[in-house]
Amino acid sequence: MSSSRIAYSQRGDAGVAPEFLVSPAMLDVVSPSGDRGGMVLGSGMKGEPLTISVLRSAPTRVVMVGGLYLARQVALRAMATGASVVIATGRPAAWQMLVRAAGQLPDGRPVPLVQIRRLSPVELPRPTEDSPLLVVHDEGHLPHDLFPPRSPWQTTLYVLPYLHPNATATANAADLVLLQRMPVGQAQLAARVWRLPPPMMQQLTTLKDDGVVALGHNLWRPLRLITTKKEQEILGPVRRGD
């Protein structure tokens, strides 16, 4: 089965993520894998895998409007590529399963692949092509810009439980937006923010629990989440909420 890459860019060349080496146990969690660093996010209308380049050779912003399940899945798949993941959150217990999924070193300490931090400015690991960085900013519907991506190979994922009128600047600055099902009022706001025609606005209100729309510059791509059995053992069943 062929795979399609979701290409997106608002600042020129999107760049392509490299391949990374991680433990077989971690790789075994996520299957099928994307091509050359691409992250399989879901499947298209014909069942073909769709990949996105979340980790790129350019500072990248991704905004997700929806539940924690999708945010955790993106973080888990970034871990499987060998990326470092820093999660800034006010609800650390909600992310502990990713620390457990990363495994332990021979001396019993957690593998330092995932760090859970408070919602305050901190020094971040320096991202490189061989060691990219995903920062998950889980602050709620009005995030402060504490960890803007400033260098190549850093991606900041803003996790918004819903779209707020005062968060439109954050949403508009994104290179990629991932949208889950919305109530009518939220879909109407999304239509105003991104100038969506009525059929697209309506589609946002009818997505299933495993439905996502990838939105970007000249991009509107509905897809269905692909979740493996081992991912479900870590994250639980696919769901729209938290």
pLDDT at 84 > cutoff 60: yes
Residue 241 lies in a domain: no
Residue 212 lies in a domain: yes
Residue 228 lies in a domain: yes
Averaged pLDDT for residues 196-223:
94
pLDDT over 70, % of the chain: 84
How many domains are contained in the chain?
Answer: 1
Q: Determine the Cα–Cα distance for residues 7 and 175; give it in Å rounded to an integer.
A: 10
Give the model's pLDDT for residue 80.
86
Give the model's pLDDT for residue 221.
92
Residues in contact with 130: Cβ distance below 8 Å, sequence separation at least 6, in sequence order: 18, 20
Averaged pLDDT for residues 183-212:
96
Give the model's pLDDT for residue 99.
92
pLDDT at 214 > cutoff 80: yes
Residue 116 lies in a domain: yes
- pTM attached to this predicted model: 0.85
Q: Lowest mean pLDDT of 10-24, 62-76, 83-97, 148-162, name the range.
A: 10-24
Averaged pLDDT for residues 48-70:
92
Q: Lowest mean pLDDT of 9-23, 53-67, 157-171, name the range.
A: 9-23
Give the model's pLDDT for residue 22.
39
Residue 240 lies in a domain: no
pLDDT at 67 > cutoff 70: yes
Burial of 10 (0-12, 13-18, 19+ CB in 10 A): middle
Burial of 184 (0-12, 13-18, 19+ CB in 10 A): exposed
Domain that holds residue 153: 4-235
Which CATH number covers residue 49? 3.40.50.300
Residue 242 lies in a domain: no
| pLDDT confidence band for 165 (50 / 70 / 90) | very high
105 or 235, greater pLDDT = 235
The 3-state DSSP class for residue 47 equals coil
